[in-house]
Every structure is written in C-alpha cells, then in structure tokens.
Structure 1
C-alpha cells in the first residue's frame, strides 16, 4: 500500500512508524518542520485521570500501556518517558471536594492513586513547599512526563529506517478521496495514494473541510479559551524535582538539565496566540513568583521562554480516530491527549488501514459523530488541565 501521512508531530510519526513496520510505502508531508505544531509546545503529562467518560479513560490507560510496550521493544533511542508520578493537592473546601470525588472515581476504576501525608510528599520531593492548610496529597505513582523530542526520535527514526520518506517543507493545499484512493495536492503537483492519514492537530478542521468531511474543532486561536495556554520554560535552577506537581496555583515538571516547565491554569485566560507574552513580562514574573512559593531552590528563577501552546480539541473534547469516508480512503486523527495516546493511536490506525478490520478500542471515537455538526458543545476548562 502507498499511504500519505500529513503532519509530523507525535501522531504522524507514530502512524508512519507502524505503517512502515507493516510494510506500507509511506510518504510524510510536513509543512514546516517536525515538532513544529502542538507536540513542540506541550506540558507532556503522561496520565489517564480526569479523562471522562469511561471509554476515554480506558483509551488513555491503554495509551499508557502502549508506551510501556514500546519501551520493551528493541530500539536505540534515549529514554523519553519518566514515570516519577504526580502529586496533587487542594487548598480550599471546593477544591478538596472535587479532588476527593476524582480520586474516588479512579480508585473505583482500579487506577493507581492513594493519599499520602506531608512528610511522605517531602520524601518524594525534598524541596517541596506545602501550604500549611494542606494535610493530604493525592499521589498518582504511574503517571509522569515525556520528552516529546526524544519520543519523536524513536518513532520517526524507526519509520525512516523502515522506508518512510519525509517531504519537508511541503504544504498540502488539497486533499480528496478518489475512486481508487486518495489524492494529495501541493502547489503545482498532485500525487495519488491508496489512502491518506491526517495528523495535522489544530489544522484538522480546515483540511477535513477541504476534503468534504469537516471535523469541527474548538477554535485553537481563541484568546482565553480551553484550547490555549501559557507554558513557561525556566533557566536551570538548583531545585530537586523529578516528577510532576499539579497544584492549585502552579503545575510544574522537569525539562532536563535543571530546567523546569511551569503552568498556571488561571493565567491561561490571558493567553493569546496572536500576542505571546514576553519571557520577562508580568505573566513570567508571576509564574516565577509562584514557583518560588512551591519549590525551595528556585528563588530568583527566570524564564528562558514563555510560549502560548495551542491544543487540538475536537468539538466535544474527545479523541477523533477513523475513516472520514465510506470507501476508507481518508483517515483522520485528532486528540487533546496526543502525548499519552500517540503510540497507541498510531498502531491502531495502521492496523485498520492495512487490514480493513475496525478496532473495538476506537469504536467510541469515530469522526462521524462530529462531521457536519454546526454547534460546538461547551467545553469545561477543568476537564483539560494541562497540555498532554
């Protein structure tokens, strides 16, 4: 089979790898550069909690297992996954009630989470500064963070070794299903394939609409919406942190070399992709102030960069994965949880493309539930904390 993959983020690299391993002839079209989209501006939190309804939770649990399976397979690449766990707490009664309900739901689903005290939390993170009113802390031991570039190195490296070809820069200007396959159009050029896979993140709505099968996304450019968020990248700091912290005022995780990534979800209301804030402006100073309150050793911390991340968010907040057309020529994947789900969605999509057999794991996530919808269901920001 000759298959086109459009977009080279984590999803595109994973699909290309799985297809190439299955013997397909794969051509990847990337407009600017690998990691140029959402993959390159992600908090990269590896998890399956606060993922509802249940099928979405289960899909993310399977996504976590797929990373473990990939780690066990032979392959030379730096480790991309750090399973340091995640610590979360609440600082007021409303937050405590929400956190208690969320952990109870996860315990019922056999998802690893338990309550620990202040002393045990400091054993895990010696430099942690815990507010006086916080008694119990939720600990998710199997969660962690990824280094997206290292995951991409593994996925795309193996795709390339197995024959996948990259065309970059290459802007796809048109896409259509034909009687015998899929046609990919570039400026002054048309190329025929047996099928095409769209892994273009926040550009999914535009490209699927051009193909005649519009999959609606929440506006990825809307200032202050659930689709945008600020991510601060610090200069190296002498703080001991090897896991994720998700707290009411600040989320933080290591980024290698003593650097941290920080995120204050309430500040996202002022995030505007058209007007990114300065790394030494008021938003940056506020993030650094909160970091100093959270971790000893970060006094005087400065941001090397402050970026506006843009999340690809299908209109109902759930993953999209499946054929757009009845003849199985065009396949689209779009998800907010691409970091956690990337390797799994890549494998399942490749199996569906190569065998024609539908995956039961993707049955609840077909694009047909959204194609043709003109309304955008209201998305609750709390459901999408963190860029994953």
Structure 2
C-alpha cells in the first residue's frame, strides 16, 4: 500500500514509522525542514493534566504509556520520566490545585502530596516559597527532547524504506479515480491514502480537500494558541524534573540549559513581533528563575521564541478519515508530544487494517468539519502542555 504523509514533525514521523514498520510504502512530504512547525517550539511536557472530557484524559494516559513502551525497545535518549512538581501560592490557586489532584486521584492517575523538605530532596537547588506547605508530585510525568524523538521515529521509518521529499510544497489534496492525489507546486502524485500531519496548517489543506477542519488561529496574539518559551544559557543548577509553579514553568533542555515559561506572559506573545532575548520579558523570566532555583544567578536567555500551538477549534484532538472513502486521514492535536507515538500507531492500524480504534471514537474530524460557530478558546492554566 502506497501512503503519503504530509509533515515531518512528531505526528508525521510517528505515522511514517508505524506505517513503514507494517510494510507500507511511505513517502513523506515536508515543506521546509523536519521540526519546522510546532514540534520545534514546544515545552514538550508529557502529562494528562486538566484534559477533559474523560476520554481525552484516558487517551493522553495511553499516550504516556506508549512513550514508555517505545523506550523499552532500544533505550530512550529522547524521553525523561522523572516527574513534575507543582504548588500554589494563594488561596484560590490552592483550591484549584486541590480540586485537580482530587480529580486525578479519582482517575487513578499517579499523584502524591509531598512536603517542601521532600521536594528539596528531589530537586536539591529548589527554592520553595516560605508559605507553601503542600506540593503535588506527579511521578510518571516527564518531558521529551523533540528533535531526538523525531530522529528516533523518522530514523526507523527511513530504515524501513520510507522516503522524504523536502522541500516539497503541498498545495492541495483530492480524490481521483479512487486514489488520493497530492497536489504539489511542481506536479501531482497519487497514493492509496494520505496522512495529513501538518499541525497549524491543517485547516488550509483540509479545506482544499473539501472537508475543512477549523483550527484556532495560530497567529492571534495573546490567544490560547501562542506562548513565549525562553531558552537559557548553560547553568550550574541541579534540576532533572519539571517544575510547574504559579510564576514559572521550567524543565531541563540538555547541556545545562533550561526552558522557561511564564504563562501570564503569554498575553504578550505575538508571532508577528517576537520579543528580544535581552528585553523586558527575558529579564522577567530570568528573575523568576533565579528566585526558583539556586545556581541560576546571572542567567540569560539565548533565545526567546513565540511558540504557535496546533489546536483544533474545540481544543480536542482530531484523528480520523475526512470522509467515508478512507483516502485522507487527518491528525491534529494540541497534545502532539504526549500523543505522537500513539496517534501514529493508531492511524497506521486504521489505515492498514480498516479496524477502528475505540479510543479515538470521540475525536473524529466529523464533529468539526464545516462548523463555523465554535467558541473562542481562552488561554488555560496548563496552556504550555503537550
């Protein structure tokens, strides 16, 4: 079976790997470069926080488990599963956190309340504010190095015969004589099926195919789809876990560097005007970091980027065929890092066997196709998650 995959971020690489492993003849089309879209600017936190309805929570939990299974096969230099620490600093925040922990506990999601002393044992350089007594610890959460994950997924796809055409601009999709046609700037190519994994460009290509999936505007300044990510210089601080705190989210990024994120600052994120790496926002982030971790005095940002999230218009994942012909399969999700390997596996299953995955029943594109009266998504407490 000849299958085209459009886009080489985490979702596209995962789909290519699973399809090629199952014996499909795979061609990947990438417009500019691997990781050029959302996958390259992500906090890359694997979790299932505040992910509702329950089916969405369960899907993300399964996505976390799929990462663990993939790691068993030949190691995982791309996956760190050392947990996440979270606390609140005011009464309203403490109430929200307690409610979230209670919900997760009711879902058998691993979470424990720990003391500041125990938190200091887990993160020796951590500076917990004096008024904080209860800290939530999520031991199975972690983060991914997206470039290493894509290298793993695409490398295994390539070893099984998958081919990459890059740069290749896909201008449209259609069905001709029972096959899926990929329309390119320099011609056309026909396949038995196509997997669309183009992230925030999903709406444009599905519209060209006659089945528009509305996406939240990825260019809307200050919206739920944009956020600031700061990348520090190497720092002599001891941190090997994720911290999600009221003032700063932070995780290791290898080589002593950290990724930092202040969710309240996302209101100032504008893809058309990224802030300077040495400007006010950068200084604010570095000041927050110094207050959170010892060993970060003199921290500076090597870059401050505006991440643009791929978010279907109702905030939930899209996975499935655009229509009943089974020729064009769409993948789009805000949780691409957490769900990537799982969605690639399930897409390959549905394409090659025709057997639907029950876990995707609530996430079919038909709930959105052609809709125009969807509510505007608001920035969320966990907007940086993937």
Q: TM-score, normalised by structure 2?
A: 0.99
For residue 219 of structure 2, the aligned residue among 196, 221, 240 is 221
Q: How far apart, CA to CA, are the structure 1 residues paired with 2:108 and 2:84?
A: 17
Q: How far apart, CA to CA, are the structure 2 residues paired with 1:12 and 1:82?
A: 22
For residue 167 of structure 1, the aligned residue among 161, 165, 168 is 165
Map of 1:355-370 to 2, 5 A cutoff? 355-370=353-368
Maintained 8 Å contact 1:208/1:215: yes
Deviations 1:124-156 (A, max 9, x none): 011111111111000000001111111111100
Maintained 8 Å contact 1:218/1:376: no
Matched, 1:307 2:305: yes
For residue 144 of structure 1, the aligned residue among 138, 142, 148 is 142
Deviation at 1:49, TM superposition (A): 1.7
Maintained 8 Å contact 1:311/1:387: no
Maintained 8 Å contact 1:51/1:383: no
Q: Secondary structure at the match of 1:158?
A: helix
Q: How far apart, CA to CA, are the structure 1 residues paired with 2:260 and 2:201?
A: 26
The aligned length equals 386
Aligned partner of 1:205 in structure 2 is 203
Aligned partner of 1:340 in structure 2 is 338
Aligned partner of 1:118 in structure 2 is 116
Q: How far apart, CA to CA, are the structure 2 residues paired with 1:362 and 1:185?
A: 28
Maintained 8 Å contact 2:207/2:213: yes
Aligned partner of 1:251 in structure 2 is 249
For residue 80 of structure 1, the aligned residue among 58, 78, 87 is 78
Maintained 8 Å contact 1:29/1:170: yes
Q: How far apart, CA to CA, are the structure 2 residues paired with 1:322 and 1:377?
A: 22
Q: How far apart, CA to CA, are the structure 2 residues paired with 1:338 and 1:188?
A: 30
Q: How far apart, CA to CA, are the structure 2 residues paired with 1:333 and 1:179?
A: 24
Q: How far apart, CA to CA, are the structure 2 residues paired with 1:147 and 1:275?
A: 26
Q: How far apart, CA to CA, are the structure 2 residues paired with 1:350 and 1:274?
A: 36
In structure 2, list runs of 5 or more residues that go unmatched.
none
Aligned partner of 1:67 in structure 2 is 67
Aligned partner of 2:38 in structure 1 is 38
Maintained 8 Å contact 1:15/1:349: yes
Deviation at 1:52, TM superposition (A): 0.9
Deviation at 1:384, TM superposition (A): 4.1
Deviation at 1:371, TM superposition (A): 0.3
Deviation at 1:379, TM superposition (A): 2.1
Q: How far apart, CA to CA, are the structure 2 residues paired with 1:40 and 1:218?
A: 19
Q: TM-score, normalised by structure 1?
A: 0.98
Deviation at 1:188, TM superposition (A): 2.9
Maintained 8 Å contact 1:226/1:384: no
Deviations 1:83-102 (A, max 9, x none): 11000000011100000000
In structure 1, list runs of 5 or more residues that go unmatched.
none
Q: How far apart, CA to CA, are the structure 1 residues paired with 2:324 and 2:340?
A: 25
Deviation at 1:365, TM superposition (A): 0.3
Q: Secondary structure at the match of 1:173?
A: strand
Matched, 1:236 2:234: yes
Q: How far apart, CA to CA, are the structure 1 residues paired with 2:192 and 2:48?
A: 34
Q: Secondary structure at the match of 1:69?
A: helix
Q: How far apart, CA to CA, are the structure 2 residues paired with 1:89 and 1:387?
A: 16
Deviation at 1:174, TM superposition (A): 1.2
For residue 268 of structure 2, the aligned residue among 260, 264, 270 is 270
Q: How far apart, CA to CA, are the structure 2 residues paired with 1:91 and 1:179?
A: 61
Structure 1 stretches (4+) deviating beyond 4 angstroms?
A: none
Q: How far apart, CA to CA, are the structure 2 residues paired with 1:377 and 1:66?
A: 32
